[in-house]
Amino acid sequence: MLEGAYRGAGSGDVFTATPQPANIGLVKREEERMAQIEQLTVDRFRQDRDSDVRLGQERAAREALRGQVAKLERELSGLVAHTFPHISPLDEDGEILSGPRLLSLGELERVRDRLALRLGEVQGQVRERAELERRSRDLLRRMKLEPGRYKFVRLPVADLGDGHCGVWEVRPRLGLIGMLAGWWQVKLSSGCP
């Protein structure tokens, strides 16, 4: 409370208030408390600004990783679709993530790295498959030119990349008589069993 002195001096009454020592302590505590609140506000502002910067950096990192994952998935799916059914789209060694959720940066990096490895494996399989088809076409061409050199050779149509069913085979024309006479021909089987 403020205590005051009343002085009556003629026409003007004056009341002067002087703070008591107990009240001075209360005012100082209020000022200190205000200073602490202001300090906490400043600290909180710095923390918020630092966390905003970290969140912005994390968001940028997530966007970059998601872009890389999307690019790898497009390339991988394009290769698998182009060579289907000869190359399996499944990743047998892949990590299985349970349910929909937001992946952490570490998990996104693992997904990206696994996709990059899988893409490398599939590219190797595509090269091997292309080489097999090239060799098979070359063999078929030679079989048609000189069937007598490739007696009873069978070449699956699937190795040529033309389909799933059928087999090119060098057979004797007219059965046993053709075999004894050296009459050989290249025939395509009628299709799937």
Q: Domain of residue 121: give its range.
A: 19-135
What SS3 state is found at 56? Answer: helix
**Do 39 and 115 reside in the same domain of the chain?**
yes
**Do 128 and 150 reside in the same domain of the chain?**
no
Strand order in the sheet with 184-188: 154-156, 167-172, 184-188
**Do 191 and 129 reside in the same domain of the chain?**
no
Q: Which long-range contacts (CB under 8 A, 24 or more apart) does 142-147 make?
A: 143/168, 143/170, 143/186, 144/186, 147/184, 147/185, 147/186
Which tens digits make up the pLDDT trace of 143-154? Answer: 999 988 988 899
**Do 106 and 28 reside in the same domain of the chain?**
yes
The residue-averaged pLDDT of 19-41 equals 58
Assess contact for 154 and 167: CB atoms under 8 A.
yes
Query: What does the pLDDT read at residue 72?
Result: 93
Instruction: Specify the range with the lowest mean pLDDT, choosing from 73-82, 99-108, 174-183.
Output: 174-183
**Do 113 and 191 reside in the same domain of the chain?**
no
Q: Is residue 5 part of a domain?
A: no
Higher-confidence position of 164 and 111: 111
Which tens digits make up the pLDDT trace of 83-108? Answer: 877 777 777 666 666 778 788 888 89
Q: Is residue 89 part of a domain?
A: yes
What SS3 state is found at 117? Answer: helix
